[in-house]
A and B are shown apart, each in its own frame.
Chain A
Amino acid sequence: MSDEHIDEISGISTTGHEWDGIRELNNPLPRWWVWTFYITVVWAIGYTIAYPAWPLLHSATTGVLGYSSRHDVGNELAAAEVAKGKYVAAVESKTVSEIAADDALREFAVAAGGAAFKVNCVQCHGSGAQGSAGFPNLNDDDWLWGGKTGQIQQTITHGIRFATDPDTRLSEMPAFGDIITADQIAQVSAYVASLSGKVKDASLIEPGAKVFAENCVACHGDNAKGNKEFGAPDLTDAIWLYGSGEAAIAAQIHAPKQGVMPAWGERLGETKVKELAVYIHSLGGGE
């Protein structure tokens, strides 16, 4: 204390600190509190020695206890891996339909498949598996190659029109622009559109039906219901991969677009593909 001073009103000595004539009364701090402060300082020094603390040029001190939060995360991930081990083993050993029939296993596969879907599939099929023009919506009940769990698994494993996979699902809609006349295309487009809605010129339907019978029934069937063996779409329903209406149908007959889906079997492994198949089957359209 540099300045001995007693406050006149309270009779208490001041600390010697003064700001613009205002003095601080000396109500002494308990000594144990000061010691507590010293202990926290000592603790802090010990802490920085024991744990990673001081920044260096390119890294930081590692601490004598060798603690690292990255190591902790690794442990947690390993523990999670162990915890889900029995489910993964079950998924590995069972078929997709068995997995789908088991409540607990299905729940696990849907969660795991959902995560894999977010990483691998959303780029084309969308984050809600809602698809877009040329990329099928996986929520609906219309399936080009079949919506049973086994069929979905097959499609994911080997892809569609994926050249490097020998077992890939393969079909090709011929470019009828070179085979039939423009009039015939207009007629058959009107016929196909009439199967699920109204058309502008009803007189085209009858000749269109004839063109259909001559050129299309081999794949799409007599009743135009399609054929999942060839990935031939059902032409009587409300779902159109490349757009509905006569113009969109005519364009697809003239010079068809043919989508390609990669084969995921080798890249993701069988277990992941099974999980994906169960997940997609659970979206609401599975057969």
Chain B
Amino acid sequence: MLDNTQVERLEAEAVNSARVRQPMYAARKKIFPKRAAGSFRQFKWIVMAITLGIYYLTPWLRWDRGPFAPDQAVLLDLANRRFYFFFIEIWPQEFYYVAGLLVMAGVGLFLITSTVGRAWCGYACPQTVWVDLFLVVERAIEGDRNARIKLDAGPWTARKLVLRVSKHAIWLVIGAATGGAWIFYFADAPTLVGELFTGTAAPVAYITVAVLTATTYTFGGLMREQVCTYMCPWPRIQAAMLDESSLTVTYNDWRGEPRSRHAKKVLAAGQSVGDCVDCNACVAVCPMGIDIRDGQQLECITCALCIDACDGVMDKLGKERGLISYATLSDYNANMMLATAGGASSVNPSLVRTADGLFSDKVSHFHIRKIFRPRTYVYMGLWSLIGLGLLYSLLARDRLEVNVLHDRNPQFVTLSDGSIRNGYTVKLLNMIPEPRTIVVTIQGLYGADMSVVGDDIPAGRSFTIPVEPDRLKMLKVFVRQPAEQIRGTAQTFTFRVEDKASFEADEYTATFNAPEIAK
């Protein structure tokens, strides 16, 4: 077991340290995050593999929809205005499903943030994931923290040039792969990849790849933490979502302070000493370059790597893990009250421990119960309600629709035999990728018949018409009623469309207008 003084002290200074007097405009301080090891790092590797896997592989999944629709599982066909997601096909007028999913994502983010803090920022945000990926490359080429600091400070040698060029080259390749994967969501991936490499793809494809390569390289490789701190609105919004029961990455100064590298000497002098050995490991691993011991701050994305770093040190010292841990503000405050004897003194870690050195029973620990509170119930309820609503609407939605527009001018036409004719634009929507034969019938409007402009369909109360797969068919329909059958100036009647094969049907109630005195 190590002694405090045997733990290596890392030279690390928080980028946002208040101790340094700041100019009005500050140059960026370089951050060289050290590789962390531990359960949170492990978890982040898994999240990274899953999210990157989803991003790069999704466009290549196939989904058989028959001969009349693309077989790409996820496809945003902007040219034809169709959106495919596995078994779901969405037409532009059904885009509220996407809006609903975005609302769910928003409420879900509220839920996650109010329970486990900025978990989105720390684990799943693309900026975090890609920066992590870029750091993997950087470490593999230039080495870990100290090697990188040395290389950065050193003169430009051939070795430095080679390392730097290869690092940036690989970053650019990752950027190009990122931009390249993006465009596959908008066209048939296997076709597009061929076109892309033979120079026959659409210019917009190359422009998109170029722009996304540049942004990925710039944001993931060059800007990194600057994006989170200065460009992203989420930290501000997410901070407002936190309350005293939300889990955040917390430095537990109630057991850590007073920090000391020479515990034995301090103890011998009769002063109290905390668990923190001031080794700076938490600062060195931080991808944001901050010191969590300064308290919860805007820059912290709660990636929990400082927890891993600190737990490693605590293990070596034979102390309990969790000097830096996920904790709620209320637990932290309670423990602080305990450690400071109700705020009367500075932190005295002996107050939180029993005589034999173990934590006293009065120390508050997080309990899973804290997740369930009115606020999270509201978020969960809202989230599930929207989800169920969307699901119901998805299962009950029409795949055959009829829309009818009455001619606005003229409202009606008197024909030579005295009968009255109304014109309608009838739109038949066949929303499945199969050709269908649709029977259009008028119901009500006694004695009336209809005819279709441009089609050799005999006038009658019903006609049958083929509709192409996944298409809208627009018909100009004239409905005509003999003079003696007319009852009033505005009669309602129904256009009914039915697929005789599947018996799916839809109806539209339309109005038939006539002059006041129809003879």
Contacts and interface: CB of A to CB of B under 8 A. Distances in A.
B28 A139 contact: no
Nearest to B451: A284
B150 interface: no
A103 B453 CA distance: 11
12 contacts: A11-B18, A27-B22, A28-B24, A31-B27, A139-B423, A140-B414, A142-B415, A237-B418, A238-B417, A238-B483, A239-B416, A284-B421
Contacts of A239: 414-416
A1 interface: yes
Contact of A10 (B18, B26, B226, B415): B18
Interface string B466-500: 00000000000010000100000000000000000
Interface stretch (B255-263, B353-361, B405-413): B405-413
Given A11-B18, A139-B410, 10 more contacts: A10-B18, A12-B22, A27-B22, A130-B410, A140-B415, A196-B519, A234-B416, A238-B418, A239-B416, A284-B423
Contact of A128 (B19, B23, B226, B407): B407
Contacts of A62: none
Closest 10 A-B residue pairs measured CB to CB?
A128-B409, A237-B416, A238-B418, A130-B410, A28-B26, A139-B413, A142-B416, A128-B410, A28-B22, A31-B25
Contacts of B519: 196-197, 238
B230 interface: yes
B454 interface: yes
A1 B24 CA distance: 9
B21 interface: yes
B414 A238 contact: yes
A285 B421 CA distance: 10
A192 to B, nearest CB: 15
Contacts of A26: 22, 24
Interface of B: 18-19, 21-28, 226, 230, 407-410, 413-418, 421, 423, 453-454, 478, 483, 519
B321 to A, nearest CB: 31
A234 B28 CA distance: 91
A30 interface: yes
A29 interface: yes
A19 interface: no
A28 B410 CA distance: 68
For B27, B408, B410, B414, which residue has the most chain A Cβ atoms within 10 angstroms? B410
A137 interface: yes
Contact of B415 (A13, A141, A196, A197): A141
A282 interface: yes
Nearest to B421: A284
Contacts of B408: 128
A97 interface: no
The dominant DSSP class at the B interface is: loop
A34 interface: yes
Contacts of B25: 28-31, 34
Contact of A140 (B18, B24, B27, B416): B416
Contacts of A196: 418, 519
Given A28-B26, A140-B416, A238-B415, A12 B18 contact: yes
B299 to A, nearest CB: 11
Contacts of B21: 13
Nearest to A284: B478
A140 B409 contact: no
A284 B408 CA distance: 15
Nearest to B26: A28
Nearest to A234: B416
Given A13-B22, A238-B415, A31 B28 contact: yes
A284 B413 contact: yes
Nearest to A127: B409
A199 B23 CA distance: 102
A103 B476 CA distance: 14
A96 to B, nearest CB: 16
A279 B410 CA distance: 15
A108 B473 CA distance: 18
A33 B230 CA distance: 9
A12 B19 CA distance: 8
Contacts of A103: 454
A137 B416 contact: no
Interface in A185-202: 196-197
Contacts of A128: 407-410
Contact of A28 (B23, B407, B423, B483): B23
A10 B483 CA distance: 88
A106 interface: yes
A206 to B, nearest CB: 23
A30 B28 contact: yes
Contacts of A32: 28, 226
Contacts of B230: 30, 33
A15 interface: yes
B53 to A, nearest CB: 33
A161 to B, nearest CB: 23
Contacts of B421: 139-140, 284
Contacts of B417: 237-238
A33 to B, nearest CB: 6
Contacts of A106: 454
A193 to B, nearest CB: 11
A234 B416 CA distance: 9
B102 to A, nearest CB: 29
For A10, A126, A284, A285, which residue has the most chain B Cβ atoms within 10 angstroms? A284
B453 A282 contact: yes
A128 B423 CA distance: 12
B416 to A, nearest CB: 4
A137 B22 contact: no
Interface string A63-105: 0000000000000000000000000000000000000000100
A34 B416 CA distance: 78
B456 to A, nearest CB: 12
Contacts of A30: 25-28, 226, 230
Contacts of A31: 25-28
B396 to A, nearest CB: 36
Contacts of A11: 18-19
Nearest to A286: B453
Nearest to B480: A284
A33 B25 CA distance: 9
A258 B136 CA distance: 91
A251 B456 CA distance: 43
Interface string A100-118: 0001001000000000000
Contacts of A142: 415-416
Contact of B410 (A15, A137, A141): A137
Interface string A1-17: 10000000011110100
